[in-house]
Structure 1
Amino acid sequence: MRKSRKVIMLLVILGLVMGGFSAIAIAQKTTINVLASKPHSNVVDYFGAEFEKATGIKINKIEVPYPVLFDKVMTDLITGTGAYDLVCVAAGWAGDFVGGRWVLPLEGLMDKYGYPDWEDVTPAIQKTVKWSGKIYALPYDGDCHNFYYRKDALENPEYQAKFEKKYGYRYNVPPKTWEEVRDIAEFFNGWDWDNDGEKEYGIEFIAKRKTQAQWSLMDIAIQYAVLRGGPDKYHGVFFFDPETMEPLVNTPGWIEGMRMIQELAKYAPPGILSYGYSEERITFVKGQCAMAFDWGDIGVMEQYPEKYGSNVKGLLGYSPLPGAEKVWDRKEGKWLHQYNQINFLDFGGWIWCIPKTSKKADAAYKFGTYITDPERSLLEVTGINYSGANPWRISHFKRVDKWLEAGWNKESAVDYLTALQGILGDPEAVLDLRIPGTAEYYDYLDLYLSKVLAGEMTPEEACKKVYDAWEDITEKYGRKKQLNLYRESLGLKPLK
């Protein structure tokens, strides 16, 4: 009997040992394919080797240029090839990938393995990874536009006094409304206000066709077109009526936004229509303009004179986007003459998704949460490990020490983080468009904006053209299908 027990125990121990060896062997043989474009693929270089050492799971980085990324992912999903286990995609593509039910919901994996501090993710970014209230992606990037201004110009008491004498009021610092921005831009346009021997200008923004200029327009139009709250039929919606899918782009709020950006272009540098995001950022950090609005990249470029030619380190102020003195009430069909400010997640950032075709979802989830945990993501957003990501966790805004380590001075770091946190911490921030055909909708908006800026169309004519084009696109994709996907993207239930 004792001998039998010894044999049984020996077999059990042998089984456990062999099972352990088997688990190790499986881990050692597991390789996940991670697809991303530059610079987001850099995270694999930074953390892939240490992850493999810790888990035995190998990472195969597949890097493709941004222009072909969408097609690479979609082709794999449609054909069912299963070539990728973890993909880094734009949040604006969620309508295609998540709405199309091509990626895995993550609650099951989160319950199984946990998630590194979900409450640390800012409210606005939590919204970008959800669809119909469920989590379908791992947050990774806090993209949004904010406002930049030269402190040595706008905070100069002499200039403030001269402005007040000319315009009859003292402007806010930072500017509170786009009406103020227009006046300030006019005041600082065309003279040497920083005493460097060269003429400076009032404001600059992305204006070139095919370089994301539509977001410059939307930063302004949303302040006139959207009432806070919701989302519902009359609050918190910017693009379409959530009950009919009728475009809202031809409403008075949008038209006013188009009119305002046309006015701002008068106080921009000569050649503003040739300014894409690269031209805007480089010329602004060189000291050409008093104000600009863009993603967080300008704040980063400001800090590195050797790398980007910055002449403005320590001279920039930062804030959320200005609001407006009035907003169009679609329900009542009239202007409400009151202050209105809406935070808008332009582009929405980048997210990590697990395709349904992946056979290694568990390993992919483990790597995805490894590279986006609080400590590693902090290295990315500060630029210590550059991956193109902007702050998105609450802890990113608290760890000022890491921003100083990355080369920022304390005042700039605190002001920059305060501005971004004001946007991403807003639970009512409006998400960017996230339905199939977004690129087509935006291309027509960009096209007719370019015609307004070139003086070839009036704002009214352009908005009507965009309205008609958006109606055609919606019909092509199917109105009912688009409506329900739009509602899901807003967190609303589909209509029956």
Structure 2
Amino acid sequence: MRLFTHAAAGALALAAAALCAPAQAQDWSLEKAAEPLKGTQINVVFLDRPGYRAIIQLLPEFEKKTGIKVNYEIVPYESSREKQVLNFSSNGDLTIALVDLVWIGEFAENGWIVPVEKFTSDPAITDPKLNLDGFFPLLLDAFGSWGGKVYGLPFDNYSGLLFYNQCMLQEAGFDKPPETWQELYETYAPKLTDKAKNRFAFALQSRRGETQSADSFMRVLWPFGGSLLDKEFKSNLLSEESQAGLKFRQDLMQYMPPGIVSYDHAEAVNALAQGQVAMITEWSAFYSTLIDPATSKIVDCLAVAPEPSGPAGRLPALGGFSLAVAAQAPEKEQKASWLFIQWATSEDIARAYVEAGGVSGRKSIYEDADIKAKYKFVEPMVASWQKGVPEFRPRFPAWPAISEIIAEWGTKMMLGEVSTEQGAKEIGTRMEDILAKEGYYDGKKALLQ
């Protein structure tokens, strides 16, 4: 079963068109393209995360060059989808959609976002150096593509990595991080946990919501060979492999801080940064927070490695967002939004974006020797993007409703209110009810996108 679209060929075709279409390619500039759009205002939702703070830092350059005003509102991740859906449903003022990889199906099928082919066919507003092939194919495919079309360009890009305090590991007698989840649990965790001193081996961000469903629950399925759904789109959570992953999470909790079910990304990152925990599996985007002396006490001790392997292999988490033009925006605002999206994800500003704390989706920036040497997260992250990952989170339109169910019962599992078997059964029944109502079992909807 494949839940990621495979739009690589389409992306390459679009890239070729973008490169070849403008007859006056050498004359194109962002400033010239924006001349008819000066004074236009565009609106977008941002998150309080490093990648967004990085682009905000660079915004004056775009606004100065174009005369286009970018209005942004910073909202918590947990309410960002709902806020956008309400805006699109009421024909509001958002001109750009911030699209999580699991929202792409919902946003595209509801007609809330516009395929980029509308804009790449217009040489006046499309940079001849757009080069869609310059993105990691996995990211363009997973974050911005649906139904064989590209809708958005990868902007805030994540790979799951193991961040660890090498000083704490060395004090415990370890000269390298754990290679496997079992090794982390059996060998490392007991020696790195001292509850009397409020020190713990590991923290797994697990707050109820998308953090629970995606960053905690789903993270332990794939390495153990489990999955949310089987090939018939029926629940696979009672399989031996899925149960092994969920039970492992329950066992590992004894080496996590109390109240781990209330930890979001910020709390998990801060626990490592303050020396409370020795290891976390977190998104690559949080590297800049962990090396900032203003927020981290472990700058000199921070090290990064790939996520541990499980019985099914090394299958790291994949997450991230794309920026897409909102269909509700008037034509002028759509063009201005497209110019901003191209600029924000371009190869031209990739270095500045990375140095400001963002994680670019462009391949070329990570080929620079100084970038690889300066940023410890680059090599394990790029390695995880080269070969791809399994369907870490389904991207179909029904995901938001299913995510709420997983968040509820996944939390109950962690709190010990239900067993992993009981929780899996409850999730499976409710999930299949949603998919049945959505038409996934009667041929109304294609299972593969």
Q: 1:73 — aligned with what?
A: 84
| 1:84 pairs with 2:45 | no
The Cα offsets for residues 370-416 of structure 1, whole Å up to 9 and x where unpaired, read as 1221232432333x2x5xx434222332346468xxxxxx5xx4431
1:123 to 117, 137, 145: 137
Q: 1:285 — aligned with what?
A: 273
Unaligned segments of structure 2, at least 5 residues: 1-31
Q: Quick one: distance in 1 between partners of 2:209 and 2:191?
A: 29
Q: CA offset at residue 25 of structure 1?
A: 11
For the 8 Å contact 1:95–1:485, the answer to whether it is kept is no
For the 8 Å contact 1:400–1:414, the answer to whether it is kept is no
The Cα offsets for residues 225-250 of structure 1, whole Å up to 9 and x where unpaired, read as 25xxxxxxxxxxx43335x3212222
The Cα offsets for residues 250-278 of structure 1, whole Å up to 9 and x where unpaired, read as 22221111100011101123333333322
Q: Quick one: distance in 1 between partners of 2:158 and 2:270?
A: 19
1:36 to 20, 25, 45: 45
Name the SS for the 2:280 alignment partner: strand
For the 8 Å contact 1:223–1:323, the answer to whether it is kept is yes
Name the SS for the 1:353 alignment partner: strand
AA at the equivalent of 2:220: I
2:155 to 140, 143, 148: 140
Q: 1:240 — aligned with what?
A: 229
For the 8 Å contact 2:99–2:324, the answer to whether it is kept is yes
Q: 1:54 — aligned with what?
A: 65
Q: CA offset at residue 31 of structure 1?
A: 1.3
1:343 to 316, 319, 323: 316
AA at the equivalent of 1:304: D
Name the SS for the 1:152 alignment partner: helix
Which 4+ runs in 1 deviate beyond 6 A? 23-26
Q: 2:106 — aligned with what?
A: 96
Aligned runs of 1:260-275 on 2, under 5 Å? 260-275=248-263
Q: Quick one: distance in 2 between partners of 1:24 and 1:478?
A: 44
Q: Quick one: distance in 1 between partners of 2:85 and 2:348?
A: 32
Q: CA offset at residue 419 of structure 1?
A: 1.5
TM (norm. structure 2) is 0.79
Change (3 A) 1:191 1:26: closer
Superposed CA RMSD in Å reads 3.2
Name the SS for the 2:405 alignment partner: helix
Q: 1:205 — aligned with what?
A: 204
1:421 to 382, 389, 397: 382
Q: CA offset at residue 101 of structure 1?
A: 3.3
Aligned runs of 1:95-494 on 2, under 5 Å? 95-111=105-121, 112=123, 113=126, 114-127=128-141, 128-155=143-170, 159-160=173-174, 173-191=176-194, 198=197, 200-210=199-209, 212-214=211-213, 215-225=215-225, 238-242=227-231, 244-305=232-293, 307-308=294-295, 310-325=296-311, 327=312, 340-345=313-318, 348-358=319-329, 359-360=331-332, 361-382=334-355, 384=356, 389-399=358-368, 401=370, 410=373, 413-480=374-441, 484=445, 486-488=447-449
Q: CA offset at residue 354 of structure 1?
A: 1.1
Name the SS for the 1:479 alignment partner: coil
For the 8 Å contact 1:99–1:485, the answer to whether it is kept is no
Q: Quick one: distance in 2 between partners of 1:483 and 1:364?
A: 34
For the 8 Å contact 1:124–1:429, the answer to whether it is kept is no
Name the SS for the 1:89 alignment partner: strand
Q: 1:492 — aligned with what?
A: none
TM (norm. structure 1) is 0.73
The Cα offsets for residues 176-233 of structure 1, whole Å up to 9 and x where unpaired, read as 22111111343324349xxxx945322111133347123223222111225xxxxxxx
Q: Quick one: distance in 1 between partners of 2:34 and 2:153?
A: 28
Percent identity at matched positions?
Answer: 20
Moved more, 351-360 or 253-262: 351-360
Unaligned segments of structure 1, at least 5 residues: 1-22, 161-171, 227-237, 328-339, 404-409, 489-496
Q: CA offset at residue 470 of structure 1?
A: 0.7
Name the SS for the 2:44 alignment partner: strand
For the 8 Å contact 2:179–2:309, the answer to whether it is kept is yes
Change (3 A) 1:282 1:448: same
